[in-house]
Structure 1
Amino acid sequence: MKRPDSIVIASQNAHKVIEFEDAFKDTGVSIKSLKHFENVPEIEETGTTFEENATLKATGIMKFTHQAVIADDSGLVVQALDGQPGVHSARYAGDHDDDANNNKLLKEMQNKQNRNAYFESVLVYLTPEGDKVVASGRINGEILRARRGNNDFGYDPLFYVPEAQKTLAEMSTHDKNLISHRGNAIRNLLNKLLEMWDQ
């Protein structure tokens, strides 16, 4: 598998792009975001799994840019809610409305004893030559009954990590990246790619 000169991250999220830049900094591969392109098409996420959605995104952006692409899909999986919000995590109670999503989660979990949950991230690497590599990562935790922490993004204020004795929102961005689902997925993907590139 050929090592590309650059990889497009199928995201406009600056935090995500920085995470990838950091991970790939010693590989000789430069990282681009969708901000490098004009008239980027909206990709409908109609999949029923994280991998399906990540593949849809990767395929759409790869066809648009004609370059190697990494796309991700991730979300919160809560045991007591039969795996919800899952692929609908960002749109659980309103489109990318973190406050509404957290309020809905608190309401749904009100009378639940089982608070176990995990965040999962699935990454899909796709090239115009037809190479496809999939990697995933997760972090286990529990859903609290009230928000904690100010570094809040998504469900982080409600997601408690027992080993760290903190919610994700109580951690620095650096500490969170060391253990987060996306951080784990990026490391897993990079290890796979380094094994396959230039062989």
Structure 2
Amino acid sequence: MTQLPLKAGTKLVLASHNKGKLAEFSTLLADFGITVLSAGDLDLPEPDETETTFAGNAALKAVAAAKATNLPALSDDSGLCVSALGGAPGIYSARWAGPDKDFPAAMVRIHDGIGPDERDAWFICVLCLAFPDGTTHLFEGRVNGQITWPPRGKKGHGYDPIFTPEGETRTFAEMEEAEKNAISHRARAFKAFREACLD
């Protein structure tokens, strides 16, 4: 893959208002001399996620931030997909939890919607790097696994307590952060991004 122009000293906008995500990406990119600015700190509006795919929503956010700041921008879109639910909640993973982010209720909704032998699931993360001229590059990470019931573990966030990745007996929420980050969908997407853009 062609090297992409992200050099030490580059300022990169993270197209997110999520402070946790900003901290995560700032740490990941610090070793490469990349300064990460957040869309929230720059008072950029959050565009409506109107696309029907992870890649579409990631691109929508990154392109908007790149054009607004005249800087390269990075965004991600991610979610849990359950085979027996036709890939749902998918791009609507956050919305299934409602405005109050009630993920316990969303996990019950998943459990109630599938049978005992319909456990196949996967997490997907798509990163989009966009430049002010509208050029975009996409990087996808996926981790396959199973829906686990009842939920287990207090670590992590979102749907982590009901997802056991392939090759593991623990859910994401039972793993230490460093363990999860080594195998997660976001880690795999970031690895592809790093290899293309930074190494």
What TM-score comes out, normalization by structure 2 length?
A: 0.89
TM superposition shift of 1:187:
1.2
Instruction: Show structure 1 runs of 5+ residues with no match.
Output: none
Q: What is the match of residue 30 of structure 2?
A: 25
In the other structure, the counterpart of 1:173 is: 177
Q: Is the contact between residue 67 and residue 133 of structure 2 (CA under 8 Å) also seen in structure 1?
A: no
Q: Counterpart in 1 of 2:198?
A: 194
Paired residue secondary structure (2:30): coil
Aligned to 1:107: 112
Whether 1:75 and 2:79 are equivalent positions in the alignment is yes
Residue pair 1:91, 1:97 contacting (<8 A) in 2 also: no
1:2 and 2:5 correspond: yes
Q: Distance in 2 between matches of 1:11 and 1:178?
A: 22
Matched residue SS, 1:119: strand
2:79 aligned partner, one-letter code: G
Partner of 1:11: 16
Secondary structure in 1 matching 2:40 = helix
Root-mean-square deviation (Å): 1.7
Give 1:93 shift: 4.7
Indicate the percent of aligned positions where both proteins have the same amino acid: 38
Q: TM-score, normalised by structure 1?
A: 0.89
Q: Deviations over 1:23-49 (max 9, x none)?
A: 2222221112223212x2121101111
Change (3 A) 1:26 1:42: closer
Report how far residue 157 of structure 1 moved. 0.4
After superposition, the C-alpha distances for 1:82-139 in whole angstroms (9 at most, x for unaligned) are 1111111111252333122112112112x24120100000000001134321101011
Aligned residue pairs total: 193
Within the candidate set 78, 86, 92, 1:88 is matched to: 92
Ranges in structure 2 where 5+ consecutive residues have no aligned partner: none
